[in-house]
A and B are shown apart, each in its own frame.
Chain A
Amino acid sequence: MGSFEVSGLSKTYPPGDPVLSEVSFRYEGAGAIGYLGPNGAGKTTTLKLLVGLLRPTAGHAYLNGVDPTVDRKRALWDAGALIETPEPYPTLNVHEALDAVGRARGLSRDGVDAEVDRCHALLDLPPLGHRIGWLSKGQRQRVSLAAALMGDPSVLLLDEPTSGLDPAERVLVRGLLNRLKRDHLILMSSHQMLEVTEVCDELIFLDHGQVLLRDRVDRVARRIRPRQVDVEFDRALPASSMGMLKPVAEEVSAISERRWRITFDGSDESRVRLLGLCQGLAPVVQFANTSLVLEEAYLELVPRAPEAT
């Protein structure tokens, strides 16, 4: 059973403020944990500390119970990692790049071939004879993801795994992660809230190197009340008719002749009333939140984020 743990983990790049301050969490078993926070929050630093690419200023990181700064071979034996933008040698072809990874993880020659075929099918890899240097960014990212999966390690540490992928590739990877999390332990940093919503069971919100919130995704979803909905009617409506929504709506703005964005207090009661009022104006074709629940949670926890973007 895979596990990862950080205990009082701190990291400072001298001279400067700490990038991570006494972060602690431990997970064991199978599931996907979303690691969220703005740029510079310390997400990638945590992942690097877990695989021993960095040494902690204080505290410890353990991968499958082993401190990677003490015994990196044992710590990483049953873990796959995709951190930053890995670059296999551009002179090698896809099979050669994956062969070294598989062999280093203890696969036989036949085992490597079987694993390459499995990853090829899972990730729609580019032709195995193509050199890494010829591949697109998305193809290289999928090869790097395949490298993390080679040998089927029980723990996966993924730093923005869908970065650089096109929408179809993202759907592919999300589907894969959803299958993997059934029997693998995944720690995944991401800025893609849709991805986190669809894949993760648990969330860790990080900002300024400190954990702001740790909870199950469904519990966070229950707590957060999106305050904005987009309503689409089956016909164009005049702006004056929107006055009917005033008892509930705090603000109404037109997106198009048929679509309107309405801000309200976010409560379930107001939502029900608002829907009723809208249906009183004209048949409603669509009534949906403008943002994902996790985006709302993110913005609530990290108010600087909109300025940063």
Chain B
Amino acid sequence: MDPEVTVSNGAYSPTVHRERVSDFQQWLIVTVHQLQHYLRTNRFYGLVGFVVLIAALTLAFEVDAGVAAVRLQQLYRSSEYLSNYLVNTGLFVVLAAAFFGGDALSVDFSTGAGYYMLVLPIRRPVLLAGRYAAAALVTLAVIGVYYVFGAAGAIYFFGTASVPWASLLGSLGVAIIFALAALSVAFCVSAFVRSPTAGVLITVLALYVGFTTLQATLELAGIEPWFSLSYAGGAMAALLDTDFVHFQTVPLGEDQYYTIWSATVAEGLAIMAGYIAVFLPLSVYLYQRKESTG
């Protein structure tokens, strides 16, 4: 059997002009494509709605308590108010990372989405980077809503002049890096599992339930949970905490102590950077190796 056959019905002459596209241009195209998708999903509106609900209820209860009571409770410092308010940010970041990153890659191997995108002349790391950027942007939008409510509360209770804007922006910057670290873990899970639902669930369980439980257990044993991402997330609030202490020892009984650890901003950033450095390349490797066997 002749292994080579030339069929020649006619000469190919393309009907359209195409330019070479750089990886960077394709990254932008994928980012926009993915953003268009994310911004129309129920999960985006559901998460924004959830954040608005929690933030609005918090604010409403505080308004109901009165300005004087809130000021007294927060030691007359807007930074203290914001630091306490931002303690919950980690939960929203983890939820957003899980919702937008937990199935970002597995969707290519469990649905027909991969047969649409993976047959295009785009390198897989570029596809991943575009989806990562889009997920980071929508996560930022979700966190941003929470920060806006926090800033509004600080202005209402303490006045615009007393709000530590630089520290608040710094905290938002830390939150973005925390989101990138959480998304790196979510993308890695998504590159590993095949089911999109499993990817979302595993990410939430690992980042929130798993790390929080482990952190509490280690603190009981007096060990600093330096490897925990949720521990690192404390840096978002720590940046605004004027009375910040790295650890506190609480007596539990005779000769028994419980140590509560709080990550410093530098420590938190280092842990987050470590997660990004480990999990993002790992997701790229797994995504590149994965086959469409379904």
A residues lining the B interface (CB < 8 Å): 1-2, 7, 13, 24-31, 33, 48, 51-55, 72-77, 79-81, 83-89, 91-92, 96-97, 99-101, 103-108, 111, 114-115, 118, 144, 147-148, 151-152, 154, 181-185, 201-202, 211, 214
Which residues of B4-59 have CB atoms within 8 Å of chain A's CB atoms? 4-21, 23, 26, 29-30, 32-33, 36-37, 40-41
Contact A184 B12 (CB under 8 A): yes
Among A79, A80, A100, residue most surrounded by chain B Cβ atoms (within 10 Å): A100
Closest Cβ–Cβ distance, residue B112 to chain A (whole Å) = 3
Contact B291 A30 (CB under 8 A): no
Determine the distance from Cα of A144 to Cα of B113 in the docked complex, in whole angstroms: 11
Which residues of B172-212 have CB atoms within 8 Å of chain A's CB atoms? none
Pairs A–B under 8 Å by Cβ, sample size 10: A28-B6, A30-B12, A31-B8, A53-B118, A54-B291, A85-B115, A89-B33, A104-B122, A106-B21, A202-B5
Contact B15 A55 (CB under 8 A): no
Contact B9 A181 (CB under 8 A): yes
Kindly state the interface size class of chain B when it binds its partner.
35 or more
| A112 to B, closest residue via Cβ | B16
Choose one: A79, A107, A154; the contact of B12 (CB below 8 Å). A154
Q: Inside 8 A of A105's CB, which chain B residues have their CB?
A: 18, 21, 120-121
| B11 to A, closest residue via Cβ | A183
Determine the distance from Cα of A181 to Cα of B21 in the docked complex, in whole angstroms: 27
Contact B9 A86 (CB under 8 A): no
Contact B111 A87 (CB under 8 A): yes
Among A77, A107, A183, residue most surrounded by chain B Cβ atoms (within 10 Å): A183
B residues lining the A interface (CB < 8 Å): 1, 3-21, 23, 26, 29-30, 32-33, 36-37, 40-41, 111-116, 118-124, 291-293
Q: Chain A's interface: helix, strand, loop or mixed, by majority? A: mixed
Q: A53-B114, A96-B36, A114-B16 are in contact. Are A31 and B21 (CB under 8 A)?
A: no
Contact A104 B115 (CB under 8 A): no
| A211 to B, closest residue via Cβ | B1
Q: Inside 8 A of B14's CB, which chain A residues have their CB?
A: 152, 154
Contact A53 B291 (CB under 8 A): yes
Contact A91 B37 (CB under 8 A): yes
Contact B112 A91 (CB under 8 A): no
Q: A53-B118, A87-B116, A151-B16 are in contact. Are A104 and B29 (CB under 8 A)?
A: yes
Contact B111 A73 (CB under 8 A): no
Closest Cβ–Cβ distance, residue B118 to chain A (whole Å) = 6
Beyond A26-B3, A53-B115, A89-B33, 18 additional contacts (C-beta under 8 Å) are: A2-B12, A28-B7, A29-B6, A48-B292, A51-B119, A72-B124, A76-B119, A81-B119, A87-B116, A104-B120, A105-B121, A106-B21, A118-B15, A151-B16, A154-B12, A184-B12, A185-B7, A214-B5
Contact A30 B8 (CB under 8 A): yes
Choose one: B1, B10, B122, B124; the contact of A30 (CB below 8 Å). B10
Determine the distance from Cα of A185 to Cα of B281 in the docked complex, in whole angstroms: 38
Determine the distance from Cα of A90 to Cα of B17 in the docked complex, in whole angstroms: 29
Q: A53-B118, A73-B121 are in contact. Are A24 and B292 (CB under 8 A)?
A: no
